[in-house]
Amino acid sequence: MNISKILISAFAVLLWTLTPAAAQSLDSPSDIIVGNWQPSNGQSIIQIYKGKEAAGEDPKKLYGRTVWLKEPNDPDTSQPNLDKNNPDESKRKNPRKGLIVMKDVTFTGSKDKLTWGEGSIYDPNNGSTYSFEATISTKNLNVMEGRGYIGVSLFGRTDTWKRLVKK
Amino acid sequence: MLFFSSHKIWKYLVALSLSMTLPYSLLAQNDEDDFDPDAFEMADETPLRRFCTNKITNLSPTRLVGISFDYLTGYAMSSEAAPGLSATDAAKYSPYDARVNRNNGLRLDANIPLVSKNNIIANLTASYWESRYSIEEGTVNSAHQIALNHAHHPLRTTTLGTLIFKPLDEKHFLIFQAEAALNGNYNFDDIKPDFGLMKYSATAVYGWKYDDNRNLGVGITRTYRGGSVLHIPVLLWNRTFNNRWGMELLLPARGHARYNFSTKSMLMLGYELEGQSYHVQSASGTNTTYGFSQMELRKSEIRARVSWDKSLTDFIWFNVQAGVRPMYRYDLAQRENADAFISNRMGMPLYFRVGLNLVSP
């Protein structure tokens, strides 16, 4: 094999691995949603991951945790923001950073239609939990349309999230 | 040899490249304590515009579907010739009194999102309101014909419309509302509705969202809340002062001070102006009303109230209101745009309303 073919092949492989979406190819579409995402309001970053059995989570399902807040501290107290609107009083002293806000999401689509659902998303601003579904276009795996709704999808709101990657 | 064989070079490069194919999911799954936002960037340059929302902190919930029962206690209903009539015409309409023992009715409201995204919310609105008058005919002079008409035929309002919230960016937004209303004493039996006399209203507002605790809007409205058509300016102002207190104004239609017990329970103190223009008919085969088989009723009232909203579940809220109902206008005219020939003075009853609402996320 001559040197030019080696270099061309190596360059092609290198280029493929440097493309973030390629790291989560459509051969494993259910994992495409895994990663760090920022909602359109820019107020937080949510890390979506596969459930951890040690934490009592279902490894076949997906979860989301708040890993960053634009305003980490309560302006009234200068202390870390807490989950003070949680309907469960025992959880109101939990910090909002690190809060599990997305639970039990599963892949509901196919290689050609990337959808997730059957889970829930929690809004600490009002203490309400909604049903959750998400869609990622096969043309751009770095943008997700996430929808929280009550009962039926009609009664919901869609927001656009963008993927973050390491520099 | 200074160089490896081509075969070994190839194997080395493939191994190196494959070692870089660690899923980004693994790279992303740092513990949240290790998460350094400065070490991350957007995955690509896909433009993602940010838009303001239609809500501020602690705002009263947006109702998607609601059912309520409205009840007014007894009051007097006195009719007389409208001001400005000639002496000859005024002589036809002597003053008469009647007693409305109670006034009540069902209210159904819907505000269904057809499109709900961060860059536009478009809702289909619909409502059905009834107003039934409990009047003992035997106590009413036969010349007090509007009271007798009400005793037999409740007033109904059926509306269909749209409400659109369009954010332009993080700080500016537009609101547009339009509605067609069928108002009258129709019952689809001996009194059929006249769809040619539907009333159309609309509102357009341009607004600013300063931050999560306040927004402001100015606009113009075509409205029947005064009983007849008006084209007037509107002012929208929502302000949350702190965790407890706020204001919600959409003037001149309504205005309330808000006290939040929590995000799930709040008290509102203020008023709402309710009004419509109704097509009142005499049932076929019955006596006419003041010699007319049909006329226009211009009704406008103020509901001064205390209102309590409480979340029963995440999205089902209970509402109870109590207050008084001063009547602003209750005039009869032969047709739209004609001068009124009868004015009615109504007492100021107490009113109560209870309801359940499915509210928006």
pLDDT digits (tens, 9 = 90+) for B334-346: 998 899 999 999 9
Residues of chain A in contact with residue B43, where contact means CB-CB under 8 angstroms, are 20-21, 142, 162-165
| pLDDT for residue B28 | 39
Is A11 within the bounds of a domain? no
| pLDDT for residue B141 | 87
pLDDT at B9 over 70: no
Q: How far apart are CA A33 and CA A36, in angstroms?
A: 9
- Name the residue among A40, A41, A156 with its Cβ closest to that of B116: A156
Q: How far apart are CA B299 and CA B157, in angstroms?
A: 12
Q: How far apart are CA B278 and CA B173, in angstroms?
A: 34
Is A15 within the bounds of a domain? no
Assigned token pair, B157: 């309002």
Q: Are B124 and B162 in contact (CB under 8 A)?
A: yes
Q: Are A161 and A38 in contact (CB under 8 A)?
A: yes
Is A4 within the bounds of a domain? no
pLDDT more than 70, % of chain A: 84
pLDDT more than 90, % of chain B: 68
Most confident by average pLDDT, A11-25, A28-42, B141-155, B200-214 = B200-214
- To the nearest whole Å, the CA of B31 is away from the closest chain A CA by 8
pLDDT at A4 over 70: no
- Stretch B89-103: mean pLDDT, rounded? 91
Confidence band for B263, pLDDT divided at 50, 70 and 90: confident
Residues 2-31 of B with CB under 8 A from A: 6-7, 9-10, 13-14, 17-18, 20-25, 27-30
| pLDDT for residue B182 | 97
Query: Nearest chain A Cα to B314, which residue?
Result: A128
* Average pLDDT along chain B: 89
Is A79 within the bounds of a domain? yes
pLDDT at A138 over 50: yes
The pair phi, psi for residue B16, each rounded to 5°, is: -60, -45
Q: What Cα–Cα distance (Å) separates residue A75 from each residue in B53, B210, B246, B297?
A: 21, 17, 18, 54
Closest by CA position to A104, among listed A82, A129, A124? A129
Q: How far apart are CA B250 and CA B256, in angstroms?
A: 9
Confidence band for B68, pLDDT divided at 50, 70 and 90: very high
Contacts of A153 (CB under 8 A, 6+ apart): A133, A147
Q: Which domain holds residue A143?
A: 25-164
Q: In CATH, what number is assigned to the domain containing residue A36?
A: 2.40.128.520
Amino acid present at A165 = V
| pLDDT for residue A3 | 66
Q: Are B332 and B338 in contact (CB under 8 A)?
A: no
Looking at A95-99, B11-15, B66-70, B98-102, which range is the least confident one?
B11-15
Q: Are B7 and A1 in contact (CB under 8 A)?
A: yes
- Asked if A143 lies within 8 A of B48 by C-beta distance, the reply is yes
Is A18 within the bounds of a domain? no
Is residue A9 classed as helix, strand or coil in its secondary structure?
A: helix
Looking at A14-28, B116-130, B182-196, which range is the least confident one?
A14-28
Tokens 């799930």: give the residue: B264
Is A107 within the bounds of a domain? yes
In chain B, where the domains are located: 63-359
pLDDT digits 0-9 by tens, A56-101: 999 999 999 999 999 899 887 889 999 998 989 999 999 999 999 9
- Name the residue among B42, B57, B117 with its Cβ closest to that of A158: B117
Confidence band for A103, pLDDT divided at 50, 70 and 90: very high
Query: Nearest chain B Cα to A151, which residue?
Result: B315
pLDDT at B297 over 80: yes
Q: Which residue stretches of chain B are H helix?
A: 6-19, 24-28, 87-90, 145-152
pLDDT more than 70, % of chain B: 89
Note whether ipTM > 0.95 here.
no
B30 or B205, higher pLDDT: B205
Q: How far apart are CA A6 and CA B150, in angstroms?
A: 93
CA A157 to chain centre: 17
Tell me, yes or no, if B94 comes closer than 8 A to chain A by beta carbon. no
